[in-house]
Structure 1
Amino acid sequence: MEPHHYDRGMRLLERLSLERLRRGLLREARGAVLELGTGTGANLPLYGRDVQVTAIDVRPGHLAAAGRKARRAGMAATVVCANAQDLPYADAAFDTVVGTLVFCSIDRPEAALAEVRRVLRPDGRLLLLEHVRGLTPWSRRLTDWLHPLWFALQGECRLNRETAATVAAAGFHLDHTASHGRGLLQIIRATPIAEPHRP
């Protein structure tokens, strides 16, 4: 989807709730920040000025739009074409990793989370805002029912992923989760679990 069509399609959702949720989550970002799947850069104007943001995406057109948004907001973000499943960064390079509405579209979320663990510092944080398999009986039925048709139409976004469980299975401690949007959106704050020391 072209960047301007994507932004136009998301405008109402952003005004209703997403921008408020993004803003609250991004307030917690600290230090060197890696943003996964930045898309057209909706988050970039919302970061504090005391962080250093590297924003990645696999779509060059979206990255160009993100760069323009960052410049208009006076945000000195670095935008890079890269895949979350194979991050081109050194171990322990970042204090915070952020993802918003991205893990639905990553082919191998387990691989991406292994990479996130690798590039996060031991005291770093993972901050996510994701749409997920419904967290109420009604929303679970809805996402399970809609998923096959939705995925067939656009081939990228999975409506019924259980992202918090995937994060926990990848070696993170779920510090806090919160449900929004009638159980269709979830905020996840997590920290990497230290690996056992081997003598």
Structure 2
Amino acid sequence: MGKWFPTVYDFFMKPLEKHRFKDIRSNLIAKAKGRVLEIGSGSGINLPHYQHCVEQVTAIDPNEQMLQRSAKFVRQGKVQVQLIKAEAEKLPFADNTFDTVVATLVFCTVADPQKAILEIKRVSKPGARILLFEHVKVHHPFWAKIQDILTPAWKKVCDGCHLNRNTLDYIKQADLSVLEFKNYYKGIFITVDCSYQPEVNKK
């Protein structure tokens, strides 16, 4: 991630966060319980949404500047938060550690989403909830083609963000049980509430 990107990210996202995304984040994160791992916590915008049913949040991000920006939310939050510099594809945690995993607007920039999901499964306890809020490739053929055309330039400007990533397909391929799925703004954004049930998936 470029040094300039963390500085401008919050500024450009503020209108969306204030008027559109706040309720989506709040409703999704309200489902988090126990020990929580947040993947790609960024500037910490999710941290104030965690409730008292959460024991601890371990928030990871590969960018040191983003972690520094999230410190203010750590102080404002209702639960204990640990910030760790780490990548989604190589999580520095033992197997079966977390009760909930949260990722919001993250998988568009993950270099290897399949590997990241495998790592999430590895560190999740059986029965863990995996809560995602992502922007994805739309189903409409015309707009999907536009996303494909824009993505190469968009990745350069927005630090590796893929406009056309089929995140839901990666989730399905990983054999996670989808409990609830919602789409927003004509399918550009989705939320997915998954459960990790290894004993079911092995049958």
Same topology, TM > 0.5: yes
Alignment of 1:123-134 (within 5 A): 123-134=127-138
Structure 1 residues 12 and 89: CA distance shift in structure 2, 3 A: same
Q: Percent identity?
A: 35
**Counterpart-to-counterpart distance in 2, 1:155 and 1:64:** 18
Alignment of 1:55-94 (within 5 A): 55-94=59-98
CA contact (8 A) 2:127 2:197 kept: no
**Counterpart-to-counterpart distance in 1, 2:78 and 2:127:** 29
Q: Which residue pairs with 1:159 in the alignment?
A: 163
Alignment of 1:23-102 (within 5 A): 23-51=26-54, 52-102=56-106
1:4 shift after superposition = 3.8
Q: Which residue pairs with 2:122 in the alignment?
A: 118
Deviates more, 1:152-161 or 1:113-122: 152-161
CA contact (8 A) 1:30 1:95 kept: yes
Structure 1 residues 100 and 165: CA distance shift in structure 2, 3 A: same
1:142 shift after superposition = 3.3
1:84 shift after superposition = 0.9
1:155 shift after superposition = 4.1
**Counterpart-to-counterpart distance in 1, 2:149 and 2:19:** 24
Q: Which residue pairs with 2:178 in the alignment?
A: 174
1:89 shift after superposition = 0.7
1:173 shift after superposition = 1.7
**Counterpart-to-counterpart distance in 2, 1:184 and 1:139:** 10
1:122-153 CA-to-partner distances (Å, cap 9, x unmatched) read: 11011000000014445423322321221233
2:202 maps to a residue whose letter is P
CA contact (8 A) 1:129 1:188 kept: yes
Q: Which residue pairs with 1:22 in the alignment?
A: 25
**Counterpart-to-counterpart distance in 2, 1:81 and 1:125:** 23
Deviates more, 1:133-142 or 1:5-14: 133-142
CA contact (8 A) 2:52 2:78 kept: no
1:74 shift after superposition = 4.8
1:170 shift after superposition = 1.6
Work out whether 1:191 is the aligned partner of 2:188: no
Count of aligned positions:
197
**Counterpart-to-counterpart distance in 1, 2:152 and 2:8:** 23
CA contact (8 A) 1:40 1:63 kept: yes
Structure 1 residues 74 and 173: CA distance shift in structure 2, 3 A: closer
CA contact (8 A) 2:89 2:116 kept: yes
Where does the alignment leave 5 or more consecutive residues of structure 1 unmatched? Answer: none
**Counterpart-to-counterpart distance in 1, 2:143 and 2:181:** 17
CA contact (8 A) 1:84 1:115 kept: yes
SS at match of 2:80: coil
